[in-house]
């Protein structure tokens, strides 16, 4: 994802990074050429004038805009729910780190190992949602025994959550925490488990395919028939207006598809790598872990993640 400060109105007209324009350039070029051909032949195909009343396109465009609004709302709801889940992950990791650092009477090395497991959990969830291994982060944050145990597991975040639960249980057995604190920390683990389930729900349940197909087909049929309806009333300006209308509809169709899968690696998906770095930096700072052991500093204002 690209994170940047909003530019002034003039620069916004020419910004390329983060725009879906580069994804739809071919489609827009084809529509522009098609419109020029229709203009050149004055809407005549095989000696027959194709006359379409512009009012038809007004009615279809209104219905299409309403349907696109529905699909856009559904996609953005998935995007925003994913962001809220990762915000909950940040809060729960900070709370667990605070409790381990201030309320658990355990050796510093044990607390550091606990904090690293929390960071490993975040990275593991990130890479599971993106169908990657993330082995470089797990080997950096977990013990060799834990990494080896995770090799053949299909749900590493769940197993790492078990590691964290075992650590908390061990502290209770060694009388480093009482049963009240045990229950409090276990409640935070339950919240982390809900985060996993929520992310998997979004990742494994895309928008219904029928919606996507219907929207996609309608947008392109509309854009390719539009030149016939405007050629008589607009004349030589018809290709320009058709291109502008097509850009609006086709770009929105592309955005709906892109943000509907918020855990991907496209420019407008959630910046999971950046969120993981910020969580790691935050909880390591809480636990007073030396900076050289951290993966990196928090992300800057401009990130492609």
pLDDT digits (tens, 9 = 90+) for 56-77: 898 899 999 999 999 999 999 9
Say which residue, 89 or 8, is predicted with more confidence.
Answer: 89
**Per-residue pLDDT at 179:** 92
The whole-number average pLDDT for the span 17-40 is: 92
Asked whether the predicted pLDDT for residue 119 surpasses 90, the reply is yes
Short-list 14, 37, 24, 29, CA closest to 227: 37
pTM of the model as a whole? 0.88
Q: What 3 state SS string does 136-159 have?
A: HHHHHHCCHHHHHHHCCCCCHHHH
The whole-number average pLDDT for the span 261-270 is: 91
**Per-residue pLDDT at 301:** 42
**Per-residue pLDDT at 300:** 47
Asked whether the predicted pLDDT for residue 101 surpasses 80, the reply is yes
- pLDDT, averaged across the chain: 90
Alpha helices in the chain (DSSP H): 9-12, 21-40, 54-103, 108-129, 135-141, 144-150, 156-173, 179-204, 209-234, 238-259, 272-286
Asked whether the predicted pLDDT for residue 8 surpasses 50, the reply is yes
Cα dihedral 122, 125, 131, 136 in deg (nearest 10): 30
Classify 18 as helix, strand or coil.
coil
Q: Tokens 């203009």 map to which residue?
A: 39
Work out the pLDDT band at 294, boundaries 50, 70, 90.
Answer: low
**Per-residue pLDDT at 6:** 67
Work out the pLDDT band at 275, boundaries 50, 70, 90.
Answer: very high
Encode pLDDT of 227-262 as tens digits. 999 998 888 999 999 999 999 999 999 999 999 999
Work out the pLDDT band at 280, boundaries 50, 70, 90.
Answer: very high
Return the domain boundaries, the chain.
20-50+210-259, 73-207+266-290
Helices 238-259 & 54-103, crossing angle to 10 degrees?
30
Percent of the chain residues topping a pLDDT of 70:
93
Query: In whole angstroms, how far apart are CA 174 and each of 88, 104, 107, 246?
Result: 30, 11, 12, 67
Asked whether the predicted pLDDT for residue 286 surpasses 70, the reply is yes
**Per-residue pLDDT at 297:** 54
Q: What does the radius of gyration of the chain's CA atoms come to, in whole angstroms?
A: 26
Residue 34: Cβ within 10 Å count: 17
14-23, 191-200, 274-283: least confident range: 14-23
Whether the CB-CB separation of 177 and 168 falls below 8 Å is answered with yes
The whole-number average pLDDT for the span 34-48 is: 89
**Per-residue pLDDT at 55:** 86
Work out the pLDDT band at 9, boundaries 50, 70, 90.
Answer: confident
């Amino acid at each position: 994802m690209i994170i940047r400060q909003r530019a002034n109105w003039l620069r916004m007209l020419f910004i390329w990074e983060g725009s879906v324009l580069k994804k739809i350039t071919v489609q827009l070029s084809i529509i522009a050429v098609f419109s020029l051909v229709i203009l050149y032949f004055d809407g005549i195909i095989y000696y027959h004038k194709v006359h379409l009343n512009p009012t038809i396109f007004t009615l279809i465009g209104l219905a299409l805009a309403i349907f696109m609004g529905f699909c856009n709302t559904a996609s953005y709801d998935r995007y925003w729910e994913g962001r809220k889940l990762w915000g909950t992950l940040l809060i729960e990791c900070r709370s667990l780190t605070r409790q381990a650092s201030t309320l658990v009477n355990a050796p510093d090395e044990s607390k550091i190992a606990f904090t690293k497991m929390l960071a490993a959990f975040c990275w593991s969830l990130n890479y599971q949602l993106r169908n990657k291994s993330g082995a470089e982060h797990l080997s950096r944050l977990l013990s060799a025994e834990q990494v080896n145990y995770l090799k053949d597991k299909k749900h590493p975040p769940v197993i790492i959550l078990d590691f964290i639960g075992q650590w908390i249980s061990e502290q209770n057995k060694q009388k480093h925490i009482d049963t009240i604190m045990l229950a409090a920390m276990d409640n935070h683990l339950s919240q982390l488990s809900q985060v996993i389930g929520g992310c998997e729900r979004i990742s494994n349940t895309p928008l219904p395919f029928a919606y996507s197909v219907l929207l996609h087909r309608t947008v392109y049929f509309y854009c390719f028939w539009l030149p016939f309806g405007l050629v008589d009333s607009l004349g030589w300006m018809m290709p320009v207006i058709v291109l502008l209308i097509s850009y609006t509809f086709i770009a929105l169709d592309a955005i709906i598809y892109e943000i509907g899968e918020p855990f991907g690696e496209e420019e407008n998906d959630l910046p999971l790598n950046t969120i993981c770095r910020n969580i790691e930096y935050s909880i390591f700072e809480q636990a007073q872990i030396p900076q050289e052991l951290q993966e990196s500093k928090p992300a800057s204002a401009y990130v492609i993640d």
